[in-house]
Amino acid sequence: MNRPDGDRGGPGGLEKKSSHTADLPAARSSALANRLPRLLAALCDRLPEDRLTIVEQVLAATANPQDPLLSRFIADQPAAGLAPQLSEIMRAWSAEAPLMTGQGIALALATARSFPRPRPAQVAVSGPMSASTPARLTSGVAVEVIRSARTSLLIASFAAHGARNVVAEIERAVDRGVRVDLLLEESTQASTAFAALPDHVHIWHRTGTAGVLHAKLIAADRHTALLGSANLTDRALSDNIELGVVLRDPHVVESLVDHFRWLLVPENQIMRPA
């Protein structure tokens, strides 16, 4: 049985099929096609919302990934590893979506930022910062976590001295109605660093002499917590070689908060008001 010309496997049929597909771009591998979205999502995981908003504004003002404005912005980023991360996004933009404007990339970043999803743990360091892993300075992360609190702040530190930015951010939290509990080691006179805070800030010391309070924790509500080696001192937050991690998984943070709240229960006779 003869088939219509369009169905033939001969030269005529091939030529007809070719005429419909000649202008289509070659298919990319799935790994390459998903690279730009993954990089934008990773940037959302790293930066706080106010910093992401700035990146979006810069992107929206650029015409393409080669725009000098964008190059200058990337070169000015002081955070370790951030400039290479942004440069990688620009390379993926150029390779995968060269016709998309900066406004389009900014919209994609804003969409990724607004999409609710679990956020991974984030590294915080003090002292010298390398580009080997995305990390942020402990002093800035501590302020950011305190600023995110809406109902309660639970802070523990073995020592405290100076740390004016942290103290000022705690005072702002108190002004917006946040309950603040400071668990401090009495033997280091850590409470003197917070003497200027309002009287209704709750300061706690450990009862008895068996051991000391050595934990370092800043927990905002029950959603975000900074754990690490750094005390609330100027040197520990910026100059010492310290390591910490920010947790944003409420299930994990809730268990931490519940443990420290249990320590404060008077019947347990572990902590007492200062």
pLDDT bin (cut points 50, 70, 90) of residue 27 is very low
Q: Could you identify the residue written with the tokens 């389009």?
A: 104
Tell me the CA distances in angstroms from 81 to 26, 45, 48, 109, one per residue in order: 33, 14, 15, 19
Cα 148 to Cα 143: distance, rounded to the nearest angstrom: 9
Q: Could you identify the residue written with the tokens 């951010």?
A: 169
Domain with CATH 3.30.870.10 in the chain: 122-273
Query: For the segment 113-140, what is each residue's pLDDT rounded down to a tens digit?
Result: 887 666 778 889 999 887 766 778 899 9
Stronger pLDDT, 254 or 45, i.e. the higher one: 254
Asked whether 246 and 124 are in contact (CB, 8 A), the reply is: yes
What pLDDT score does 18 carry? Answer: 42
Cα 155 to Cα 48: distance, rounded to the nearest angstrom: 21
What pLDDT score does 30 carry? Answer: 45
Cα 254 to Cα 157: distance, rounded to the nearest angstrom: 19
Q: Which of 270, 198, 259 is nearest to 225 (CA)?
A: 259
Q: 122-273 has which CATH code? A: 3.30.870.10
Q: Which of 167, 149, 140, 115 is nearest to 47 (CA)?
A: 140
* pLDDT, the chain, mean: 86
